[in-house]
Amino acid sequence: MASSTPVADASATTHDPRRKLGVISIALMIIAASAPLTAVGGGFTTSFAVSGNLGVPLSFFILVAVFIIFAFGYAAMSRFIDNAGAFYAYVAQGLNRSLGIGASMVALVAYNLMQIGINAIFGFSVADLFASVFGWETPWWVWSMFGIAIVGLLGVNRIDLSAKVLGIVVALEFLVVLVFDIVAIIAQPEGVSARGLLPADLFGPGVGVAFSFGVAAFMGFESAAIYSREAKDPKRTIGRATMLAIAVGGIFYGLSAWAMTVAVGPSQVVEVAATQGPGLVFGVLAEHAGTIFADIANVMFVTSIFAALLSFHNAVARYFSTLGREGVLPGWLGAQRALHGAPWAGSVTQSVLGIVVLFVFILAESAMTAGWPAEITPLYPVLTMFTWLTSSGAAGLTFLMAIVAVAVIGYFWRNHRGVGVWSRLIAPAIAAVALIVLFVLMLMYFNLLLGQVDENGETFSTWLTWFFPTLLILPLFLGLLWAQRMRLRTPERFAQVGHGSHD
């Protein structure tokens, strides 16, 4: 494992006017990426429906433990690395530059899958909102296009504007979900029980799918380091914000998922989620809290998804920008706004990718509407574009975090830098093993995740079963090949990989 030269003290740059984000601001950006109301209304219901697994609540508490353990090493390393490339820089400095480039390719694919997939449920939810409130029937993809445009516009502007927007949205989201949890306990058609929290409920058919959606709900906590160049005190802010986001978000998710089983009954939650989708949440609220509050919650659901779109868009834009500045990708991707350093080129690139993928699913829907190769369902964008892309992205980021956990060990191997043995060795080792197990479970149940189940309940495989896993792993090897090319043709750029650009 390669050692690396520590970068310049991040505290020396605190005078930079771009450094405006504190612990709370970054924690809000992290939580916004997973979007509490989006996780409850979209992620939880889809997880119950697709996995058929009642142990969804327990999966969150297990993931809290895994991610907290991972965060010890991650936060320790963040004290010494000030690079908006986050995972990419950590692997480059902890293992070697070639693996860092490979990791950057995996990260780009995974984050783009997450962001583009969320855009599908945004379009579906806006269309559903207008249909339920005003009776206006509009195509879901029109609103997905609208979301791409607005998020792209904010993406090329000041980061502190985004933080303010997300802060307000996240606070309101927590309030709505809290009301749902209280209403669920009051409703309790089958009483209050521990079902959903028992190991037997989780460890059975569909466990990999449940973990996939669980990881997707958490995704965003690892993005704290992406904002290192905009943090007031990177040495402390990043670690504290990460821990805060995992603890608050994870426990809240676990309790809310359990409340969902109580709201409609453990014996009914899978079936209701499969037929109603996000409507499960708003139906419960309408019945027990009133139609007006349910409509308000529906609006908040849309703004929640928008918050997640914006947060992941910012993450992708910063990856593009960092890789462009360091010469891994074309230099023009590193272009920033002169006034406040917003990565406008990366932002525009992400928006273009979103439009291209959206058109692919629009064409697929048109073919299915015509009866080929299968019949269309009202939940098409949720069960295909949203489910396939976000779950694939979550699997990719799980794979990437396992590599990062090993990189933490490598980074502190020769120079402990005053970090204790738990944070630099034991915690990352445990995290690496746990994350690899999670990744394998996700791959084992990928055909179930894609809805490849016949009339007898037996799973089958198609080219899609192999397409998405390949899409996650292949970039690592392509990145290694590209790294070899850089090392031979542009050694000065290769030496800079993962160690900061001179901008």
Contact predicate 441/210, CB 8 Å = no
The CA distance from 137 to 1, in Å, is: 58
pLDDT at 406: 96
Q: Please say whether the structural domain 10-494 has been given the CATH code 1.10.569.10.
A: no
pLDDT at 8: 39
The CA distance from 389 to 115, in Å, is: 9
Contact predicate 380/368, CB 8 Å = yes
**461 is written with which tokens?**
């495989």
pLDDT at 166: 64
pLDDT at 483: 92
pLDDT at 337: 73
Contact predicate 333/349, CB 8 Å = yes
Contact predicate 111/316, CB 8 Å = yes
Counting Cβ atoms within 10 Å, is residue 339 exposed (0-12), middle (13-18) or buried (19+)? exposed
Cβ of 377: how many Cβ atoms within 10 Å? 11
List, in sequence order, every residue forming a beta bridge with 231; answer none if it has no partner.
Answer: 21
Of 314, 305, 310, residue with least CA distance to 128: 305
The CA distance from 365 to 190, in Å, is: 39
**44 is written with which tokens?**
């939880």
Q: What pLDDT digit, counting tens, does each position of 389-445 carry?
A: 998 998 998 999 999 999 999 999 988 988 899 999 999 999 999 999 999 999 988
Q: What pLDDT digit, counting tens, does each position of 269-284 carry?
A: 999 998 888 889 988 9
Instruction: Count the residues in the chain.
Output: 503
What is the DSSP-derived secondary structure letter of residue 204? S
pLDDT at 500: 60
List, in sequence order, every residue forming a beta bridge with 21; answer none if it has no partner.
Answer: 231
Amino acid, single-letter form, for residue 82:
D
pLDDT per residue as tens, the chain (503 positions): 333 333 334 334 444 555 667 777 777 777 766 678 888 888 889 899 888 889 999 999 999 999 999 989 988 887 787 665 567 888 989 999 999 999 989 989 998 999 999 999 999 999 988 988 888 889 999 999 999 999 888 877 755 455 666 667 777 888 888 999 999 999 889 988 999 999 999 998 889 989 998 888 887 666 666 666 666 776 677 777 888 888 888 888 999 999 999 999 999 999 999 888 888 998 899 988 888 898 888 888 888 888 778 878 888 888 888 888 888 888 888 887 766 667 888 889 999 999 999 999 998 888 776 665 555 677 788 888 998 999 899 899 899 999 999 999 999 998 898 889 999 999 999 999 999 999 999 998 888 888 777 666 677 778 888 898 899 899 999 999 999 999 998 898 888 887 764 43
Burial code (b: 16+ CB inside 10 Å, e: under 16) for 260-289 equals bbbbbbbeebbebbbebbbbbbbebbbebb
Contact predicate 286/461, CB 8 Å = no
Q: Is the peptide bond before 57 cis (omega within 30 degrees of 0)?
A: no
Cβ of 12: how many Cβ atoms within 10 Å? 9
Of 103, 87, 82, residue with least CA distance to 483: 103
pLDDT at 365: 83
pLDDT at 146: 94
Amino acid, single-letter form, for residue 84:
A
- SS3 (DSSP) at 265: coil
235 sits in which H/E element: helix 234-264
What is the DSSP-derived secondary structure letter of residue 145? H
List, in sequence order, every residue forming a beta bridge with 157; answer none if it has no partner.
Answer: none
Residue with tokens 């993809």: 141
Amino acid, single-letter form, for residue 193:
S
